[in-house]
Amino acid sequence: MSTHEAPQNAGRRWGRTWGVALGAALGLAILATAFVWPAVSNEPDGLSVAITGDAEAVSAFTQSTADSLGEIVEITAVDDRDAAVVGIEDRSFIGALVLGENPEVLIASASGQVPTAFMNQIAGQLQANIDGAIYVGVTDGIRAMLAAQGPPPAGAPDGNPAAAAMNNFPESLPTVAVTDIVPYADGDPSGTGITSAGIPLTVGSLLASILIAFSVAGRWQRVSAVLCLGIGGGLALTLLLGTWLEAFPGPFGLVWLALSLSVTATSALFVGLHSVMGRAGLGIAAAVTLLAAMPLAAFAVPYQFLPGGLGSFGQGLIPGATSSLARSVSYFPEAATAAHWWTLAAWAAAGLLLVFIARTAKRPPVAPAPARPVPA
């Protein structure tokens, strides 16, 4: 190598070094933005709350909360408490208000921390409205009584009409009862498990899929590996997260099927794109999963809160569909889940189809066998 070529090679090596470092820094910034931006830009919207009771009371509450809650939740009148419970159990409503002599707020803590916080806020607003209405009614009654009595006659003993009027106060004020219709399981009372399970489930499926992509060759072998990973991984996850930790306390078979379909869909996406495009396919699959699917999955907040309709888009991706489906089969068996089942099935079918249409599955490199000595 000439003395002129050596500095050029060194310059190229340093250029590649700085290029890789800057590219990694840019990728880190993009990844952080993809996760943080939806979180800080979420807007409370798209939630629905049921209300039932006397028409006048319903109208009064709706008008009193129009400014504070009108932009956050949609309040829908239903026939009775039973109808409200049905709506909560099928996830049409995040909660309900039952107005009457015994006011009650129905919540479903298993729907998530944010919806539960909103319902507790509504319960506080309802209690404030009731207290205010009682105060106004009683004070108006006292004023009317005092006005009707007029001034005491001359020579009459001094009396305190206001003290006598105090007898008109009710013995006790109505207290708003809060009833949890769908609580979390005893093993996961705060819902931390089901909320935090989405990220390790997605990342674990991603890593296992890359292992299959690099170590298994042949169409049928790859398809078999993907299906075995889905069935076996789903079973292991159900035993750990469902039976043991109770993060997914739904029927064992349904939880197993949901988690297996999710793992299969992720694995099929990675292996299928790798079969067609090689390493570039893995990069595309990782970008879709890490930069789009996971940030928009709304693991901790209602997907309706994400800006610009991104939450609905995220429900069409694997992590978002998995999160909603797992929560529904675990706590809301009456909820509509067909869209989530079909979403995961479509991703799995598309990935497996890519494996079949690929010309050849790339075989892993095989080290050459050592030469055997030839006998003399």
Domain boundaries in the chain?
Answer: 47-151+159-180, 192-357
Reported as a pLDDT band with limits 50, 70 and 90, residue 59 is confident
Using one digit for the tens of pLDDT, what is the confidence trace for 260-315?
Answer: 999 999 999 999 999 999 999 999 999 899 888 888 888 888 888 887 788 899 99
68-81 pLDDT, tens digit each: 665 667 888 899 99
Q: Is the CB of residue 98 less than 8 Å from the CB of residue 104?
A: yes
pLDDT at 161: 53
Q: How far apart are the first and last CA of the chain?
A: 42
153-167, 198-212, 318-332: the lowest-pLDDT one: 153-167
- Above 80 in pLDDT, residue 45? no
Question: Which of 245, 253, 257, 265 has the alpha carbon at shortest distance from 317?
Answer: 265
Both tokens of residue 163?
Answer: 């003290």
Please answer whether residues 302 and 169 qualify as being in contact, where contact means their C-beta atoms are separated by less than 8 angstroms.
Answer: no
The pLDDT, as a whole number, for residue 361 is 47
Q: Report the share of the chain in percent with pLDDT over 90.
A: 46
Kindly report, residue by residue over 222-261, the tens digit of the pLDDT.
999 999 999 999 999 999 999 999 999 999 999 999 999 9
pLDDT score, position 162:
52
Residue 342 pLDDT class (50, 70, 90 cuts): very high
Please say whether the beta carbons of 271 and 351 come within 8 A: yes
CA-to-CA distance for 306 and 44, rounded, in angstroms? 8
Contacting residues for 161 by C-beta, under 8 A, at least 6 apart = 145, 146, 149
Q: 58 to each of 54, 93, 179, 208, 352, how far by Cα in Å?
A: 6, 17, 19, 54, 53
CA distance linking residue 30 with residue 21, whole number of Å:
14
Looking at residue 129, its pLDDT comes to 75
Task: Identify the residue with better confidence: 22 or 199.
Answer: 199
Report the pLDDT averaged over residues 152-176: 58
Strand ranges, E, within the chain? 47-52, 73-77, 95-98, 104-107, 177-180
User: What is the reported pLDDT for 242?
Assistant: 92
Question: Between β-strands 95-98 and 47-52, what pairing exists: parallel, antiparallel or unpaired?
Answer: parallel
* Contact yes or no for 258/329 (Cβ under 8 A): yes
Amino acid at 322: T
Averaged pLDDT score across all residues of the chain: 82
pLDDT in tens, 217-228: 889 999 999 999
CA dihedral 255→256→262→267, nearest 10 degrees, is 170
Residue 166 is predicted with a pLDDT of 54
pLDDT digits (tens, 9 = 90+) for 124-152: 888 887 776 654 444 555 555 545 555 55
What CATH number matches the domain at 47-151+159-180, 2.40.10, 3.30.70, 3.40.50, 2.50.20? 3.40.50
Predicted confidence band at 339 (pLDDT cuts at 50, 70, 90)?
A: very high
Rounded-to-integer distance, Cα 110 and Cα 165, Å: 47
Quickly state the pLDDT bin for 14 (edges 50, 70, 90).
confident
Q: Do 250 and 242 touch, CB atoms closer than 8 A?
A: yes
Dihedral in degrees, nearest 10, Cα atoms 278, 284, 290, 294: -120
